[in-house]
């Protein structure tokens, strides 16, 4: 009997280092695949279509919502983000695990729709450290950074929705903790009541 793959969700406030941690995790774990999200935000320098995101217009994104193509989707800081169902379901049905790097709103939807998913909250060592990271990366206007920081304060209160909390103070330690969670979940006997 083939076991269905698992969904691992990495979520946390903007600027906490989700992409960096997920990138390191993918280099160190076999048989796990990153779900590439769709977004309406502008492409950043160094990003590639279909690798980092599927970049969509708001009209295209709305059409995908209307036709039920997303496992989860959310609006964040004026842009939309969503996880297309098709690739995720293909991986899962082939006994491959999938990692989703998504915002808190999306993590809530995954928790409801996919109760067997494993949710990991990636937290900054402090709010001040998060603010510093967002300002240093210089990818957005001051106004967008302010919006992200306001949202981050709210998101820090959502940890109770997650199975695990990993603080990203030291990158290696954060990655090791996420790897430990994945390994432990792969050893879990899921049919025990």
pTM for this prediction: 0.84
Q: What are the chain's domains?
A: 7-187 (3.40.50.300)
User: What pLDDT, on a 0 to 100 scale, did the predictor assign at position 140?
Assistant: 67
User: Rounded CA gap, 153 and 44, in Å?
Assistant: 25
The total number of residues written for the chain in this structure: 193
Are residues 168 and 21 in contact, defined by beta-carbon separation less than 8 angstroms? yes
Mean pLDDT for the stretch of residues 117-146: 80
User: What pLDDT, on a 0 to 100 scale, did the predictor assign at position 1?
Assistant: 40
Helix H, strand E, coil C: the string for the chain is: CCCCCCEEEEECCCCCCHHHHHHHHHHHCCCEEECCEEECCCCCCCCCECCCEEECCHHHHHHHHHCCCEEEEEEECCEEEEEEHHHHHHHHHCCCEEEEEECHHHHHHHHHHCCCCEEEEEECCCHHHHHHHHHHHCCCCHHHHHHHHHHHHHHHHHHHHCCEEEECCCHHHHHHHHHHHHHHHHHCCCCCC
| Residue 193 confidence (pLDDT) above 60 | no
User: What pLDDT, on a 0 to 100 scale, did the predictor assign at position 138?
Assistant: 67
Mean pLDDT for the stretch of residues 34-47: 91
- φ, ψ of residue 118 to 5 degrees: the values are -110, 120
Distances from the Cα of 181 to the Cα of 144, 172, 188, 189, 191, angstroms: 33, 14, 11, 14, 19
Give the mean pLDDT of the chain: 89
Share of the chain above pLDDT 70, in %: 95
User: What pLDDT, on a 0 to 100 scale, did the predictor assign at position 38?
Assistant: 94
Token pair for 131: 């603010």
Range of lowest pLDDT (70-84, 119-133, 142-156, 172-186): 142-156
């Amino acid at each position: 009997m083939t076991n269905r793959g698992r969904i691992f969700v990495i979520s946390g406030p903007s600027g906490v280092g989700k992409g960096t941690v997920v990138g390191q995790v993918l280099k160190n774990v076999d048989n796990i695949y990153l779900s590439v999200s769709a977004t309406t935000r502008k492409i950043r320098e160094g990003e590639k279509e279909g690798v980092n995101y599927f970049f969509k217009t708001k009209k295209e994104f709305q059409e995908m919502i209307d036709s039920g193509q997303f496992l989860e989707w959310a609006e964040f800081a004026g842009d939309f983000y969503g996880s297309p169902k098709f690739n995720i379901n293909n991986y899962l049905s082939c006994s491959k695990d999938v990692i989703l790097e998504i915002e808190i709103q999306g993590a809530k939807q995954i928790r409801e729709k996919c109760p067997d998913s494993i949710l990991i909250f990636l937290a900054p060592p402090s709010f001040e450290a998060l603010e510093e990271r967002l300002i240093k990366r210089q990818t957005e206007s001051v106004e967008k950074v302010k919006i992200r920081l306001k949202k981050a304060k709210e998101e820090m209160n959502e940890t109770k929705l997650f199975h695990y909390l990993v603080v990203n103070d030291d990158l290696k330690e954060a990655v090791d903790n996420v790897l430990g969670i994945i390994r432990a979940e792969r050893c879990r006997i899921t049919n025990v009541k």
